[in-house]
Amino acid sequence: MESINYHLELTPAQLKITHTALRGLLDDFGHDEHAIHTIIQQVLAKLPDEHAIRAIQLDAELEPQSPDPDQDRGPGPGTAA
């Protein structure tokens, strides 16, 4: 069976939520489900360490970005629209 690898690009907020969800799954599965624990731990090992995850502040990440004031100005004076 051929192995397929996936590449994900996550924002900091998405990364923190993914990490939190995986930690929750790890806690939810019983100790008798060793294979699932192993897979979750393997995925968590690929993510940044706990310190880096804690440093991500969801409030700051979820704030709307202020628009670029030059972007929506439209055509300049004397320019045909």
C-alpha to C-alpha distance for 51 and 9, rounded to whole angstroms? 20
Distance of CA 59 to the CA centre of its chain: 14
Phi/psi of residue 26, nearest 5 degrees: -60, -40
Cα Rg of the chain, angstroms: 21
Q: Dump pLDDT digits (tens) for 28-43.
A: 887 778 899 999 999 9
List the one residue out of 35, 16, 36, 15 whose CA is nearest residue 25.
36
Mean pLDDT score, 35-63: 92
Write down the pLDDT at residue 41: 94
Q: What is the pLDDT of residues 59-76, one digit of tens each?
A: 888 887 666 655 555 565
pLDDT number for residue 13: 94
